[in-house]
Chains A and B, each alone.
Chain A
Amino acid sequence: MDIRKFIPRSSARGAWILFFLLTWLWASWWMGDSFRIAREQSFFAFDATLMHGLWQQPFGFLWIIGRAILVLYRWPLLGGLVVALMLTGGTWLIAYCLRLRPDSRWHPLCYLPAIAWMAWVAWIGLNIYFQAESGRPFGILFLVVLICAIDAFVIWTFKKRGTHPAPSHQEVSGKWMWSWAVILLLLYLLPFAITHLRHPYQRPFTRMQVQLLHDDWQGIIQTAHDNAELSYRPLAADYAIALIHTGRLADDLFDIRLDYDTLFVKGYGNYPNVGTGLYQIDCDYHAGLFRTATHHAVEHLTMMGPTLFSLKHLTRLALLDYDWPLARKYLLILKKAPFEGDFVARYEPMVGHPELVDADPVFAQLRLTEPVNDAFEGQFEEPSFLGYTATMMVGRSKEALMQSLMACLYSKRMPDFLMRCQPLVGATLPRSVAEGLVTQVSKEPDILKVFPQLNMNAQMFQNFIRTNQFAFKDRPTYARKLFNTYKGYYPYYYFFGNLKATRKRSDEEHGGSKAGVN
């Protein structure tokens, strides 16, 4: 059966359109948030001073072009459209240069480079931007398209019309064509599969990061709940940030899995990395540790050069510090970046106006947990947003107390937790605090006298212990099985959650060295 008999003459055009639509789908819907965040972790401006550092790097001009393309991901549909056009155009040019005409036996080969590029992008995951050059993926794509275009132009110019070899009239069987169609479809699905299987955290995390850009706290919580069974620190970090801003930290923190599977990310110089840098600055900032956030944002600026992400953080931090000249400097730079008008319009009026800074609802929330006294970062366990928050002795608000309590519960520092519960005597206890207290009743029986309202919680806790006695023998195995039943219940987290961190902590304490907080 000759398949060509069943395909209209416009089938070739249809294949190109289908390919274009599929790549657009991938580049805008599937990868849209990833590239949107890559854009935030990048910087492009039509200014020689600002692009000088990148320009001087090997292949710097290429990375600049890659970043320019990334700029369009301000709107993922638009960015995806351009990328899809480049992929489709590049594929067409490859077909033209290699004379793989639509009716040629080997025509389907022309699609492979585009699919290979997509698979590579999927394979590197968050390293499309994390501690890596964000202009690289699109810079490489641009280079390939450019080379093909030049090659095609040369062929078109120097080959006499008619001497470009005619398509080989080999018989192409229907079976052959169908086989290729199936292979291409499977290959097309490969980038989706790689992201889904190797980097399952990537899409929810970048979604949450986009939501963070818009202060969409409910959206972040929803995304976290939709992916509650995924257990990765970056997701937990963004979720905790959203809970802080909605006042739900003490009630909902343990609603998602907190066991932390491995992230496949590389750090500077392509070395393995645990990915703390994905969320550290955001966490410092939203925990009210402005100096520490500045510290890490400047480190980010040092290692990555200017990025929208670091410049925006530094602008906000300068405003919180009432440091107008510094805020003005960062805003001037951001004004040079295309499509950053919204950010500048929101924050520029605050320069020189402390009353506007204080009136900003997000800033006002963050101020509640700003440290009261000075200390040095090195006096606390890392990361500071946990180490400091869990051990600080003086806070400026009940929100600061609540964050401290939750940091203690999260890192299972129960003596510190109990000490911080004293101001809550006689008050209505948030869910996690009440559940945290009952886990300590066996060690501190007086808890029930001080907090008589906990009797019901104590009973529930006893039931939990009794019912799950079997699981204590092999906690790692049962942790996952019990999660759906006890999602959000602190005693479950206390005994079955974050076991790797708990084990590490007790090992390190056993060794006599200072423990790292996970």
Chain B
Amino acid sequence: MKTSNHISHILHHLSFMAKVCGWATLLIACSSKPSAVPTAFTETTDSLAMYPDYRDVTIPPNIAPLNFQLNDSSATEFVVAFESEVAPKAGFSCGACEDGKIDIDLSLWRQLLYDARGRSLTVSVYAHRPAGWVRYQPFTMRVAEEEIDPYLTYRLIEPGYEYYSQLGIYQRNLTNFDVETVYENDRTFSSDNCHCINCHNFQANDTERMILHVRENHKGTIVTHGNDAYKMIIKHDSILASGAYACWHPTLPLVAFSSNKTAQVFHMNYNEKIEVYDAASDLILFDADNNEVRTILRTSDHFETFPCWSADGTRLYYCTARLPKMPEENFEANLVLRYDSLLYDIYSMPFDTVTYTFGEPQIEINASAQHKSCSVPRVSPDGRYLVFAYASYGQFHLYHKDSDLWCKDLQEGNLYPLTESNSNDVESYHSWSSNSRWQVFSSRRDDGDYTRTYIAYFDAQGQGHRAFLLPQRDPEYNLLLLKSYNCPELTKNAVQVSTEQIRHLIYNTEAELATYKE
């Protein structure tokens, strides 16, 4: 019995080796991809399997080619034809081998989008099956008039629990596939040097002013102004902890921070895997030019977090939750058991840009009344819309599958979900383009665990459109990548400080202690 098992085992592996040889042959056989649209074909009603799914999406006229992978197990090669609505003959076609990977030529793509700006593209997919060529039902992409800010800054990190290892903040040029490193921690583990980096934030979609945090070793907050940068640290008896979630004032050298005592716990048998909750949180204001910090809100019965300025900088929006009633003894142990009763509303308060003083808070979104909870409020740069993440409880919606993006029209006051942009899985961290027409956000719709960056058109009527995955040169990239995209932020220009500058600051510079101002 054992011998026959052994033999079948060996045969299995021999067949594998034969397959390898077969693949090699195919690779050689398909070294020249087809590109001419077949003249003879039959129509098929089979549903088209493609990844990423770019059907019926609205795309910016300056976006990189939307490469995708076709999946048709009976096809040996593919041809895809792109045609612009305005000039059908002006399109182009490209092909793929059995792997179905469509690699679109950048210059042809740019010309096509230039021609199709404000109109639609028709995409026809042809597959070469044993019986001949077939054509799938063509689909369309709409090319918007408005461009997206060309740079996207994000962090790549494993969708981890407690540990982190190699991680970095990167900047992608959305008009092509170039990626620059803003900063990376060490690539190998060293307990003396390992540090976490997070929560990069820019002033009004401009990299002139930027901050990012460093935790654990070499900790501090890196503040940049043009090509200059320094490291500061917020530490004072009156402040809970260093600044966490940050938002630059749109015009003044001010950063509103939340200061959080954050903890996380791990479910043993639940739909969600992790809960991240605050055991306390306040709001603080940091003056970057004077290196001063002061408290904005400090309450004992509320948790305030996720500050966000209005477009003109005269209001500060933030999330706040009432502390549930419970015994003071074993506070944190009791709090964690009530994790799902922490419901965050969105409040705002006026800000005097001359005296730097805040007025009385007023409620903007009373989510707790609906037994819901808000997080990450962001006001559009045109000042009209407030978009936020909305889920059943808590504030760290990255781990809440029911989290969706919702919108409040600040002019009309109505509140609605961005249904077209949302999915059945997590939508959480989001940011606006400077023209208020594009949103990028984190979504776990692909596989539930690995956060990916999606881009969605947001029209002048305040409606979000079908979102599409950040395009990659290799369409399989997102399936293979074992890291999550965090905190996607759009900017009009590239980060101005160099990686070496940031590294030097982190490793070789003592953080300046921010002065606390009563």
Contact = CB atoms under 8 A, between A and B. Distances in A.
Contacts of A302: 158, 160-161, 163-165
Given A49-B474, A269-B191, A291-B273, A332 B267 contact: no
A485 interface: no
Given A326-B449, A342-B12, A374-B270, A269 B160 contact: no
Contacts of A464: none
A375 B189 CA distance: 32
Given A299-B162, A302-B160, A49 B266 contact: no
Contacts of A291: 266-270, 273
Interface string A282-313: 00000001111011001101110110000000
B479 A303 contact: no
Interface stretch (A8-16, A28-36, A50-58): A50-58
A271 interface: yes
Describe B's contact surface by its main secondary structure.
loop
Contacts of A332: 476, 479-480
B16 interface: yes
What's the interface size class on A, roughly?
Answer: 35 or more
Interface in B406-460: 446-450
B482 interface: yes
A460 B273 CA distance: 48
Given A269-B189, A376-B336, A294 B273 contact: yes
B39 to A, nearest CB: 35
A50 to B, nearest CB: 6
B331 interface: no
Contact of B480 (A50, A57, A305, A342): A50
Given A299-B160, A302-B160, A49 B187 contact: no
Contact of A372 (B191, B269, B273, B480): B269
B463 interface: no
Nearest to A326: B447
A292 B160 CA distance: 13
B447 A298 contact: no
B479 A299 contact: no
Contacts of B269: 290-291, 370-375
Nearest to B449: A326
B481 interface: yes
Contact of B163 (A303, A342, A374): A303
A225 interface: no
Given A57-B187, A376-B265, A299 B13 contact: no
B34 interface: no
Given A371-B268, A375-B269, A53 B166 contact: yes
Nearest to A376: B265
A77 to B, nearest CB: 12
A56 B165 contact: no
B356 interface: no
A272 interface: no
A306 B164 CA distance: 14
A374 B446 CA distance: 26
Given A56-B187, A58-B188, A49 B481 contact: yes
Contacts of A328: 447
A333 interface: yes
A208 B166 CA distance: 32
A348 interface: no
Given A58-B188, A339-B16, A325 B446 contact: yes
A377 B190 CA distance: 27
B159 interface: yes
A5 to B, nearest CB: 47
Given A323-B448, A374-B267, A377-B268, A329 B479 contact: yes
Contacts of B446: 325, 329
Interface string A362-397: 000000001111111110000010001000000000
**Which residue of A268, A289, A328, A370 has the most chain B CB atoms within 10 A of its CB atom?**
A268
A474 interface: no
A325 B448 contact: yes
B294 to A, nearest CB: 35
Nearest to A74: B13
Contact of B191 (A268, A294, A298, A378): A268
A355 interface: no
Nearest to B184: A56
Interface string A240-275: 000000000000000000000000000011010000
A341 interface: yes
A47 interface: yes
Interface string B171-208: 00000000000000001111100000000000000000
Interface string A31-66: 000000000000000010110010011100000000
B268 A268 contact: no
Interface in A327-357: 328-329, 332-333, 336, 339, 341-342
Contacts of B191: 268-269, 271
Contacts of B273: 291, 294-295
Nearest to B477: A49
Given A268-B191, A376-B336, A377-B266, A326 B448 contact: yes
Nearest to A392: B268
Contacts of A292: 266, 268
Contact of A325 (B165, B187, B447): B447
A342 B165 CA distance: 31
Nearest to B425: A325
Contact of A298 (B13, B159, B267, B474): B159
B170 to A, nearest CB: 12
A325 B165 CA distance: 25
Interface string B470-503: 0000101101111000000000000000000000
Which of B12, B266, B448 has its CB near the most chain A CB atoms (within 10 A)? B266
Nearest to A327: B447
A321 to B, nearest CB: 9
6 smallest CB-CB distances across A and B, nearest first, come from: A325-B447, A302-B158, A371-B269, A376-B265, A374-B270, A302-B160
23 contacts: A56-B187, A57-B187, A57-B188, A58-B187, A58-B188, A291-B270, A291-B273, A294-B273, A299-B162, A301-B482, A302-B161, A302-B165, A326-B449, A329-B447, A333-B480, A336-B480, A341-B16, A371-B268, A372-B269, A374-B270, A375-B267, A376-B336, A388-B268
